[in-house]
Every structure is written in C-alpha cells, then in structure tokens.
Amino acid sequence: MNQEQRTTDDGRRTASLEQVYDSLAAWCRARGYAGHDPFDALNSRIFQSTPLRRWRAARLVWTQAFKRSPVSLRALARVPAERNPKGTALFALAALSRLRSPRGTADGSRARGAEGEARELLNELVAARIETRHGVAWGYNFDWQSRAFFAPKGTPTVVPTAFAVRALVEASRGFGGEGAGKYLPLARAACEFVLRELNRGDETGEELCFSYTPLDRTRVFNASLLAAEALASVGALANEDVLKEAAARAARYVVRRQRADGSWAYGAESFQSWSDNFHTAFVLTSLARVIGACGDRRGEFAPALRRGFDFWRANFFRADGFPKFTPARDHPADAHSAGAALVALCELKDLSPEALPLAAKVAAWSVEHLRDPRGFFRYQRRKFFTVRTPYMRWSQGWMLYGLARLLETTKSGRRTMK
C-alpha cells in the first residue's frame, strides 16, 4: 500500500471517529443534555408518594433494582429526565477539549461551534452551583442511597464538585483573562467547600482523607483524590501554596494505601475492598493532575502512578480493547468504564507508549459493541445480553468526554478506528 492509500485510509478512520463524536454530541444536544441516570430511581414520583421513601432498606433495594434491570423501568415509575450537574461538567469538558483540538482550531466554523457550546454549558454549570456555608459546590439531581449513607437531592458532594472545578479551571486557562475573571473565583470558592465543610478521616500532619459529603465520614480513595486534584489545580492557577499543600496531604493518604500489586481498593472500609476499572481510572487521572500541579511532589508520587498504571493496563483490558469491570471479572463492559479509560489513557500518554494504542482499541471496541445506530452509547454489555438504556451522564457524558480527549490528543484521530 502506498503513502497516498495509507493517508486515505487514515482519513476515513479520522472522519469515522469525528462522525461518532458529532452524532453523539447532536443526540445529547437535541435532548438538552437531560436524561436518566443509573442512580436516579428515587426520583420516581410513585416511590416518593409512598412511605417507603423513609426506609433505608427500601431506598437501597429500589435503587439497585432499577440499576440492575436489563430494561429501563423509569417511564413506568415516572422518573423524569433531568440534567445532572456532573454530566454538565463532563459535556463542558468535552466541548473545551474539542475547542483545543488542532483540527477544531483550524476549522473556523467548528471552533466557533465548540466555543459556543462550551460557554453555554459552563453557564449552565455555574447556574447549577449550590451556595454552601463557606463556598460553593455541586451535587446530584436525585436522592442517593448508598450502602454507607444517604444524601438527599442537592447535597453538596465532592465528586460532581471536583469535575465542575476541572471544567472551570480548563475554562479559566482556555478563555484567558476573561476566563480567569469569570471562572477561577468560582473554582476557588469550591476549594473553600472542600477545605472547610468536608469531613476529614485519618488526618495527621502528613495525611488526610476528605469525605464524600458534609453528611458522612466515608474514606473513598477516588473521591478524596478528586478533592486533592481540585485543590492542586486551583492552587497552581492561583499560585496558592496552601491549596497545593492540602492536596499533597490528601494524595499522600491514597498513595500510601496502594496495594503491593499496584491496585487500590475503592475505600478504606472492609466492605469497600473491591477494585474496578473506572474508579481506578479516576485515581490515576487525579494523581497525574496532582503531580502536574505540584511538580515538587513528582518524586514522591510518580512511582505509585507508574505501578497503578501498569496494574490497570495489564488487568482491566482484554487484547481487543474490551474494558473489563474488575481484574477477575470481564462483564459488564460499561460505557462509563470505556469513557473514563479514554480520558485516563490520554492524560497518561507520556507515561507509556502503550497508552494511546490502548485508547485506540478501547474506542474501536466501544464504537463497535456499545454504540447504537441512533448515535448514543448503550449502558452495558453483559455476558448474555446488552442493556440498551441511554444514560445521559453515566454513558453519554463519559463517552463524549473520552472521545473528545482522544481526538485532541491524537491530533488527527488516526489509527483510532482500526
């Protein structure tokens, strides 16, 4: 095959990946970025009209039944389609990534479209903020019952807050002085929420672990490290060492609890000992971002990042790019795991020459096996069937963000659709 043929083939692959992104973006945009979520069952108008809403066990069973069902029960249970603040942050991050993409910046109409989309989503994100006692935060649009605690709808929560801060920080950088003036103060106010309102577990002079919300005292590793990422990124942008020092203490807590094989459990409690694909991707991405913002900590944290990446790459993916759920269990292959993997692999591209080739395989597998002809991504491929529910935040938000990062990072998207 001559060079011209290779270029033509690569061009078709690039167009395919961009078309996948564009059709997914159009599908989400047509619905106003509103949809359902694996954890929104407690928004059911039927459930909320019964005394069951007051019982922890009933809330947990109802949530898990909806999450595990092979078909969506939401229309029957009258669960409304709504916007999710974390989803809004993911969509904004995707638009910002497309705005940075070399092809996007070279194409004037595409760049203007990405900029308009990013600004609109950022405005929506700003409007969705929760004013707290000491700062601002973001939460989920549904009551949430986990095994550890209950968080009513709108509870300020570290994970959506951290992704909102990521979007605000990237907008501050991307829009120059205007962005710094408009978005950085909100990101800084979110740091006050993290520092002054989240509970702290296992705190010492060298370590600390942030809780999930002000209502609980859980020690969830990826959640605390997302808080550290928010503090570190704002600290670097605002030149505030106090934020970076708190971030380093939180990162040190997680790094010191890495297992000998390089993995991390979900959390510190005995019932949180599992390790799954997308939470590991969260840990790796946030740790890399903490290292990038706190360069003087590279020597301390980089070895853990390398061990964690090596374990994740070797144990969470099949040779064809299939994103395994756990090291010992292939199914379900989840669109969330695929999207989070694409983001992490792009963030870690300088760590290993195998990162981007693996990202290409994950993208190709996901497009072939999880993408619906109508443009959206299905929830999960289980062992004997596929759950086709098009969750907006969980599946579409993560796949759109992951595809955008892959297109940005690989510049032309070549090799992606092999």
pLDDT lower than 70: segments of the chain: 1-15, 103-109, 411-418
Asked if 279 and 266 touch (Cβ cutoff 8 Å), the reply is yes
Q: Where along the chain do its domains lie?
A: 41-76
Q: Whole-angstrom Cα distance, residue 93 to residue 121?
A: 9
Q: Between helices 221-238 and 158-174, what is the axis angle to 10°?
A: 30
Burial class (CB within 10 angstroms; exposed 0-12, middle 13-18, buried 19+) of 270: exposed
Q: Between helices 221-238 and 184-197, what is the axis angle to 10°?
A: 130
Asked if 319 and 336 touch (Cβ cutoff 8 Å), the reply is no
* Tens of pLDDT, residues 99-118: 998 765 556 667 778 899 99
Q: How far is CA 388 from the centre of its chain?
A: 21
Distances in whole angstroms, Cα of residue 228 to Cα of each of 13, 289, 405: 37, 9, 22
Q: What pLDDT, on a 0 to 100 scale, did the predictor assign at position 163?
A: 98
Q: What pLDDT, on a 0 to 100 scale, did the predictor assign at position 353?
A: 94
Q: How far is CA 178 from the centre of its chain?
A: 26
Q: What pLDDT, on a 0 to 100 scale, did the predictor assign at position 413?
A: 42
Q: What pLDDT, on a 0 to 100 scale, did the predictor assign at position 108?
A: 63
